[in-house]
Structure 1
Amino acid sequence: MEIKFLKPDVTFITSMQEVVKEEVENGNILLRTDDEMANTIRSYIVVEVDGEMAGFTALYIHSQRLAEVRSLVVSKKFRGLDLGKKLVEECIKEGRKYKLAQILSLTYAKGFFEKSGFRMIQKEAIPEHKIWADCIRCKHFPICDEIAMVFDL
């Protein structure tokens, strides 16, 4: 089995939308339009298994100190291979490359992120208020039940 991590180009967007579709419908991941994904395509990391897209995530930089893991998803077909953990590790490597101080995750999967070295914080402690601009589009708005977690780089 060959596992490969790569930076996608815009031709990946349709496949990425298909992989994340169910999680968006369930309200676990925020919908990103094709145009939004195109605008931020450089922030994405795709994982392929034997040439097939297995999942992806994005490391979205908010400021000189803070980035956010967004849209972390692994196709059901490829779960159990630790690909989610490996995608987060790729985000951490990229965060270090860019000399960021912290990586944020707003998540329902507290245990998963704890195993990756993240710690829980109060949402009110997140200094970059622009993070909350996306919340209006969430199915759960205004009752946010996501957990805020950070990884210190």
Structure 2
Amino acid sequence: MEVRKAKLSDIKYIYKLILYFSKKGDVIPRPLAELYESVREFFVCEDRDLIVGACSLHILWEDLAEIRSLVVSEEYHRQGIGSKLIEACLKEAKELGIPKIFVLTTSPDFFKKFGFKEVHKQELPQKVWADCIKCSKFPECDEVPMLLELNQN
């Protein structure tokens, strides 16, 4: 299995994964056009020419980015794919010089393994919540805001 930057030919597979998990309420749905526009944000995990996972590093400002749309095919759960995708996003964030990364998640324990800490949503800029309107859980959100401050050394 290989983690790599997404290509345009991967977008339809990423879309299907996100659509599946958005129907379960695990991630926010993303329109196909939005995924094509943000292809450079995505990493994918490929197993024998099959896209089995994806994750996005979405830059919001000079000092803040979000890890979002983390999806892994159910038959590939518990194989470390999610961790590899998060590590790829964090590596790129460091390379870009982004000091703070946040996530909104229903799996805080998973992100704690990478050093993310739970924060109050008021600690994040209001712009962060723009995608929430697209969510089926809005305004009764069960996601936990978490923040990681990267050591830039």
TM-score range with shorter-chain normalisation? over 0.9
Counterpart of 1:151? 148
Q: Which residue of 2 aligns with 1:108?
A: 106
Residue pairs, 1:3-18, within 5 angstroms: 3-18=1-16
- Report deviation, 1:114: 0.6
Q: What CA distance in whole angstroms lies between the structure 1 residues aligned with 2:47 and 2:101? A: 26
Matched residue type, 1:4: E
Q: How far does residue 121 in structure 1 lie from its aligned partner after superposition? A: 0.5
- The whole-number CA distance in structure 2 between the counterparts of 1:150 and 1:95 is 13
1:12 CA drift (Å): 1.3
Please name the residue that 1:122 is paired with: 120
Provide Cα deviations, 1:75-118, integer angstroms capped at 9, x if missing partner: 01211111101111111101101101111000000110011211
Q: In angstroms, what is the RMSD of aligned CA positions?
A: 1.1
Aligned residues of 2:5 and 2:43 also touching (Cα < 8 A): yes
Deviation at 1:20, TM superposition (A): 2.4
Tell me the distance in 1 between the aligned counterparts of 2:43 and 2:50: 14
Structure 1 runs, 4 residues or longer, greater than 6 Å off: none
Aligned-partner residue type, residue 124 of structure 2: I
SS at match of 2:147: strand
For normalisation by structure 1, the TM-score amounts to: 0.94
Structure 2 counterpart of 1:90, which letter?
A: A
2:65 corresponds to 1:63? no
For the residue of structure 1 that corresponds to 2:103, the secondary structure is strand
| 1:23 aligned partner, one-letter code | F
Give the structure 1 partner of residue 25 of structure 2.
27
Matched residue count: 150
3-state SS of the aligned residue for 1:93?
helix
Offset at residue 9 of structure 1 (A): 2.0
In the other structure, the counterpart of 2:131 is 134
Separation in 2, partners of 1:51, 1:116: 28
3-state DSSP of counterpart to 2:75? helix
Residue 40 of structure 2: aligned partner: 42
Aligned to 2:95: 97
SS of 1:57's partner is strand
Partners of 1:19 and 1:136 in 2: CA distance: 21
Q: Which residue of 2 aligns with 1:88?
A: 86
What code does the residue aligned with 1:152 have? Answer: E
Identical counterparts, % of pairs: 34
* Separation in 1, partners of 2:62, 2:22: 29
Uncovered stretches (5+) of structure 2, i.e. residues with no partner: none
Give 1:36's aligned amino acid: E
